[in-house]
Structure 1
Amino acid sequence: MKENFQISPSLAQTIVDAAKEVIGKDINFIHLDGKVLASTDPGRVGSFHAAALQVQKKGNVVEVSGDEAFKGARKGINYPVMIDQKMLGVIGISGDPEECKSLGFLLTKITEVLIKEQMIKSVVQTLDDMRSSIVRMLIFENEKENAFMNEHLQQLQYELEERAFVAIIHLPGLNNTTSLPVKMNGVLLKQGIKLFTYLFPNQYAVIINASQYKTILQTFNSYFGPMNVSYSIGIGSIGILEELAKSYMHAKLALKYALSKKVTVCEYTKLDLEMIMENIDFQVRNDYAAKLIGELSEAEINLLHNYYNNNLSLKKTAEELFIHKNTLQYRLDKIAQKTEANPRDYHDSVKLYIALLLQTL
């Protein structure tokens, strides 16, 4: 194992996000000091988790049968993260312990694989390994001055500028994930992208020079946009190499918005209100959205999204939903009754729009 290897917050977040994608439950990664390093529930990041200290003390699995059994812990199971017989942290699943037991082996294996992928080896065998090593060093470890990285860039015949950005490509579905790297590597190289890494289970992180921003944006829209399958791409902010970890986080936020809006490409720099809302306390966001639109059905939520996407046009919304204009008005009236906010009133409409945005963050 790499000497003094530490799990960075960005790597920990990647691990919990990937695990939830497969397992479908909230996942927490806890540092050995009991601090929650990353979580699929943003409100828990930075909080204290007493059960994790018990895992470290016992060196074994710790079940939490109730939310009050350990300070800061919720019902679920917590596992030691062991690499080469060294504990690097604790990972836990939130939920009924009996139900979670069957997922424990899968969770620990996913965690182990992702950590081992991140550990930079002294000798890299393939060009794809070199690409992956460079990207992971920059977005997970914030390393710019690294002899191996500079050597790899020379071998790849790629000049990395002082300013660059990260983009994340989300591939549709989880079927045939073992073939994703083989297929996408060729696609990315064909588009002139030389620095990329595969993120389990269905994403690619790429690093691109700032001078190529407009060109790559056109490439993403033209190549991925017309394809039959639904790809989504989040583009992070441009910054110096030491800031690429931040660009990676921005790309994740842009991707989240792209997925929620079902668009091919979303640029972080184009997010305005969404950026402000992302900084609002998670519980406050959750409470506001639940209070206003929590009683609406999925069909009603989709109707509102269509209504706002069509700039509050009854005619265009009705046409897009293949319903009569009177039917649309009736459904909007039902939403007004449920929420006590009329979508056709300017001020109420703003409230509903904000609630929809908060729900997608």
Structure 2
Amino acid sequence: MKEQFQISPSLAQMIVDAAKEVIGKDINFIHLDGKVIASTDPGRIGSFHAAALQVRKTERVIEVLENEIFKGTRKGINYPVMINQKLLGVIGISGDPEECRSLGFLLTKITEVLIKEQMIKTAVQSLDELRSSIVRMLIFENEKEDTFMNEHLQPLQYELEERAFVAVIHLQGLNNASSLFVNMKGMLIEQGIQLFTYLFPSQYVLIMNESQYKAALQILHTRFCSMDVSCSVGIGSVGVIAELTKSYAHAKLALKYALSKKETVCEYEKLDLEMIMENIDSHIRNDYTVKLIGNLAEGEINLLHTYYRHNLSLKRTAEELFIHKNTLQYRLEKIAEKTGVNPRDYHDSVKLYIALLLQTL
């Protein structure tokens, strides 16, 4: 275990995202110099957090009872992240300290577990820990240790090609994550997938060689997404081993699109307009969406999604919605009245379609 282990921003972001899913409040991870390196509130990333310096000085929990008591801080509680009696950073919950206090133990334990998993490199206890350690190193760390990779891939009897890709499986409706983990592990290995890891609370990340791409598509479609739980898969771009961090980011974008469209598998390489929109400033995306479809009810939004999925076909849209075609036309007219753009006019229809896409990003 390296004495100078540093928490990377990507790892810190994974920690705060996972913690928020469990705790339900905004979480910040602060470097020992006081800089926020990850947050579930994107606006706080890169800002200065003076309370973290107090945590570093005392190695104790610091509560902030009012906003800006310490420079750059908000109400909440900040905890030292200690691994093997070494302070690695500070993690904080934003909110009323009275409400946050009971969540502190859970937050610190989630943080410690996720960090320790990243530090497993030389003292690998099992093949499961080994494959997880390799995957996490490849997708979360900027610097890959070739010596470690070559040495520890041998027990898995697996060889990484020069080019590979990442896939993310998202599972819903989980009742027993531990038993599912055992089942998933067996299914993945059975299909010749040796590099994978479980990401709390409901995802598996897979790394496969470029030569496995076509077979992987078929396997993910037919094998894993026919299980009892709902399943969506995002497949990232193919690239050299050093760029698997990018492939992982692309896989998450593809998964986000698959979830929004209720699709089984989405490939990053087949996204086009969505990739452009993902790079539009979030405030601009939100303003455009609110302006065009902010007044529409959920049922009207779903109607539009169905309408576009059937390529503006009134007949097929009405059939899927189990309504008469005249009823559909009436509802589309009502949407035109509310939005000021007509879904049945080509140019207006494009504007609405873009708003719907932006809403899913």
Residue 297 of structure 2 aligns with which residue?
297
Matched, 1:9 2:9: yes
Q: Please list, as runs of the form range in 1=range in 2, the aligned pairs for 1:73-88 lying within 5 A after superposition.
A: 73-88=73-88
Q: Please list, as runs of the form range in 1=range in 2, the aligned pairs for 1:217-296 lying within 5 A after superposition.
A: 217-296=217-296
Residues 60, 305 of structure 1: alpha-carbon distance in 2 compared, 3 angstrom cutoff: farther
Distance 1:36 1:6 in 2: 14
Partner of 1:130, secondary structure, is helix
Partner of 1:93, secondary structure, is strand
Long gaps (5+) in structure 1: none
Long gaps (5+) in structure 2: none
Partner of 1:342, secondary structure, is coil
1:54 deviates by 4.1
Q: One-letter code of the match for 1:280?
A: I
Residue 106 of structure 2 aligns with which residue?
106
Q: One-letter code of the match for 1:35?
A: K
Partner of 1:231, secondary structure, is strand
Residue 340 of structure 1 aligns with which residue?
340
Q: Please list, as runs of the form range in 1=range in 2, the aligned pairs for 1:36-185 lying within 5 A after superposition.
A: 36-65=36-65, 71-185=71-185
Partner of 1:82, secondary structure, is strand
Residues 70, 10 of structure 1: alpha-carbon distance in 2 compared, 3 angstrom cutoff: same
1:24 deviates by 2.6
Report the identity percentage. 79
Q: One-letter code of the match for 1:112?
A: E
1:219 deviates by 1.4
Partner of 2:237, secondary structure, is coil
Given that 2:26 and 2:39 are in contact with CA atoms closer than 8 Å, whether structure 1 keeps it comes out as yes
Q: Which consecutive segments of 4 or more residues in structure 1 shift more than 6 A?
A: none
Q: One-letter code of the match for 2:77?
A: I
Residue 206 of structure 1 aligns with which residue?
206
Residue 351 of structure 1 aligns with which residue?
351
Distance 1:175 1:150 in 2: 37
1:66 deviates by 5.3
Residue 28 of structure 1 aligns with which residue?
28
1:16 deviates by 1.7
Partner of 1:201, secondary structure, is coil
Per-residue CA deviations over 1:222-264 (Å, capped at 9, x if unaligned) read: 2234444311111111111111111111111111111111111
Q: One-letter code of the match for 2:139?
A: I
Tell me the matched-pair count: 361
1:122 deviates by 1.9
Residue 323 of structure 1 aligns with which residue?
323
Residues 41, 296 of structure 1: alpha-carbon distance in 2 compared, 3 angstrom cutoff: farther
Structure 1 range deviating more: 305-314 or 203-212: 305-314
Per-residue CA deviations over 1:145-181 (Å, capped at 9, x if unaligned) read: 4333212211211111111111111111342112222
Given that 1:43 and 1:283 are in contact with CA atoms closer than 8 Å, whether structure 2 keeps it comes out as no
Partner of 2:187, secondary structure, is helix
1:75 deviates by 4.3
Residue 189 of structure 1 aligns with which residue?
189
Distance 1:65 1:300 in 2: 43
